[in-house]
Amino acid sequence: MSWHTHAIFYELYLRAFADGNGDGHGDFIGLRDKLDYLEWLGVDCIWLLPMYPSPLKDDGYDIASYYGIHPDYGLLEDFKMTVDAIHERGIKIIADLVINHTSDQHPWFQESRRSKTSPMRDWYVWSPTDERYQDVRIIFVDTETSNWAYDETTGEYYWHRFYSSQPDLNFDNPKVREEVLRIMKFWLDLGIDGFRADAVPYLFEREGTNCENLPETHDYLKQMRRFIDTHYPNAILLAEANQWPRDVVDYFGDGDEFHLCFHFPVMPRLYMALAKADRTSVVDILADTPPIPKGTQWGTFLRNHDELTLEMVTEEERQFMWAYYSPDPKQRINLGIRRRLAPLMGGDRRKIELMHSMLFTLPGAPVLYYGDEIGMGDNIALFDRNGVRTPMQWSGAPNAGFSSAKDLYAPVIDDATFGYQRVNVAAQRNDPTSLLHTVRHMIMTRKALPVLADGDLDWLHDLPKHALCFWRTSGEQRVLALHNLADAPLEIALPDGAAFSDALDATATVDSSVTLSAYGYRWLQTRT
């Protein structure tokens, strides 16, 4: 059994997590102090957001050097010590690998833009016109009007899929392709366990296509995988490919490309199912999801550091989601919603738990977003997606116990509902009935039931549409996961011939039928 298929991931934004040196920014010293917490919570692998030197025009996804650490976070030595400390606790760590583009401050781009004959000209995608690749969509639609940016120095345009401050690297250049392997080697040699690879569908450009998911891109990604398999056989690659299921599955290859891929389309449908009290969209998208190679796994999630993306839904569904979950237009950005889980659920504990229960029982390796385990809020007054990247709320102390500094990189949440005085780790750790304890209990229970990671999925279809109920089966082990998407109790007659115990509550008895409370859920295990 490879570790990644059964892992629970925790997405961690270093700047937001814990400030160890009192400068108002989270850092590696701070993270080391909090490893007790992550070990207690039971997560298997940390996904660290970009920690490289960067002008932070896109919060570190604009890299200015691939071989260093942003000075706010510490030194390379701190990174290494942190990796070792994480490993000592039996936790793994993967880093963000952002290779589609660099910052425009990267020395490679500075050199490339200097002249048309620069030896590094060919490291980026230049063109005398902005007419090429007209079939390509714009991703940051609120900010960018073109994927080309004019550069006065040489009077040419450069290609960028994200902000114009993030020029795309030219993967047709073998030197770029070699350099990426060198970058991977550098970090893997420091002991990390793999990468979450950013924006992988966009590596190559070809005229007459939408420049996504191209065969050339897949060929190169397979080369990255061969490199890993040859030199670092326990390391993994997790793909951020925000695509429809039929296109994402290609990123698994025949088991020779990515170990994991995020399942972007299922995410908004969990929210939609809850909003409409109707499981159909979740059932349908999973039915449309082709099987994946043995040894690979989906990465599933409720929220992450970006907007809740609505790219992988129909226009009608997008309008529904926007109207329902972002009534204030300020809560929207690009094709998505810049809010956190708990506010999206209106702070309703029942719904927050129900969403987690679906995440932990449906196929995939769950990827939690820091702070959602305590139900943290957001702040739409902050720029871009920064409103979901506020300081972790450790306690009711000043600055939420995040930092001793006077000025923080971003204000802590202190509104009446989600403020740190009410929502924090210390209070919830002391309260066995808290959301934190409930999420932790789900993590522990899931880890004790490997069928939830590798079992087949079979829906119970003969139930009202607000019942999202399914079997997970693997050999002798069977779990029946029951979810009630409606705001009224739901009685479910259990299948004949099986005796059940409640996997989440050893004291509960299970008769021939169960009644789920409004937004209730149960995980029933067959007794053999």
Shortest spacing between CB 166 and ligand GLC, in angstroms: 6
Nearer Cβ to ligand GLC (9/61): 61
Shortest spacing between CB 175 and ligand GLC, in angstroms: 21
Which token pair is 116? Answer: 């048309």
- Give the integer Cα–Cα distance in Å for 313 and 329: 19
Q: Is 198 a catalytic residue?
A: yes
Shortest spacing between CB 262 and ligand GLC, in angstroms: 10
Contact call for residues 483 and 362 (beta carbons, < 8 A): no
Nearer Cβ to ligand GLC (138/426): 138
The alpha carbon dihedral of 227, 71, 83, 28 has a sign of negative
Nearer Cβ to ligand GLC (98/285): 98
User: Site residues for ligand GLC, window 57-96 (CB under 6 A)?
Assistant: 58, 61
Nearer Cβ to ligand GLC (193/384): 384
Shortest spacing between CB 238 and ligand GLC, in angstroms: 12
Shortest spacing between CB 306 and ligand GLC, in angstroms: 5
Interaction of residue 344 with ligand GLC, rule CB under 6 A: no
- In a 13 Å sphere around the CA of 468, the CA atoms on its Cβ side amount to 32
- Which of 7, 199, 267, 514 touches ligand GLC (CB under 6 A)? 199
User: Site residues for ligand GLC, window 8-67 (CB under 6 A)?
Assistant: 58, 61
- How buried is residue 292: exposed, middle or buried, by Cβ count under 10 Å (0-12/13-18/19+)? buried
Which token pair is 63? Answer: 């890299």
Amino acid making up residue 368: L
Interaction of residue 98 with ligand GLC, rule CB under 6 A: yes
Given 62, 78, 193, 198, the catalytic residue? 198
Cβ-based neighbour number of residue 133 at 10 Å: 18
- Which residue in 354, 366, 265, 267 sits closest to 44, CA to CA? 366
**Phi and psi at residue 29, in whole multiples of 5°?**
-60, -45
Report how many residues bind ligand GLC under the rule CB under 6 A.
9
Cβ-based neighbour number of residue 293 at 10 Å: 13
Which token pair is 138? Answer: 């714009």
- Give the integer Cα–Cα distance in Å for 358 and 367: 13
Bridge partners, 150 (sequence order) = 157
H-helix or E-strand spanning residue 33: helix 28-33
- Give the integer Cα–Cα distance in Å for 96 and 48: 6
User: Site residues for ligand GLC, window 443-482 (CB under 6 A)?
Assistant: none
Q: Is 212 a catalytic residue?
A: no
User: Site residues for ligand GLC, window 226-265 (CB under 6 A)?
Assistant: 240
Nearer Cβ to ligand GLC (338/472): 338
Nearer Cβ to ligand GLC (98/180): 98
* Contacts with 345 (C-beta within 8 Å, 6 or more apart), sequence order: 351, 352, 355
Q: DSSP readout, 234-262? A: T-EEEE---S-HHHHGGGGTTTTS-SEEE
Shortest spacing between CB 61 and ligand GLC, in angstroms: 3
- Which residue in 489, 491, 484, 493 sits closest to 465, CA to CA? 484
Q: What is the contact mask toward ligand GLC in residues 162 to 191, using x (rule: CB under 6 A)?
A: x-----------------------------
Nearer Cβ to ligand GLC (199/272): 199
Minimal CB distance residue for ligand GLC = 61
Nearer Cβ to ligand GLC (263/305): 305
Nearer Cβ to ligand GLC (60/391): 60
H-helix or E-strand spanning residue 456: strand 456-459
User: Site residues for ligand GLC, window 104-163 (CB under 6 A)?
Assistant: 162
What SS3 state is found at 317?
A: helix
Given 27, 72, 193, 240, the catalytic residue? 240
Interaction of residue 384 with ligand GLC, rule CB under 6 A: no
User: Site residues for ligand GLC, window 293-322 (CB under 6 A)?
Assistant: 305-306
The alpha carbon dihedral of 67, 71, 72, 73 has a sign of positive
- Which residue in 181, 211, 216 sits closest to 197, CA to CA? 181
Shortest spacing between CB 300 and ligand GLC, in angstroms: 16
Shortest spacing between CB 250 and ligand GLC, in angstroms: 19
Regarding beta strands 297-301 and 260-262, do their DSSP bridges make them parallel or antiparallel, or are they unpaired? parallel
- Which residue in 126, 103, 113, 125 sits closest to 152, CA to CA? 113
The residues binding ligand GLC (CB under 6 A) are 58, 61, 98, 162, 198-199, 240, 305-306
Just list the catalytic residues. 198, 240
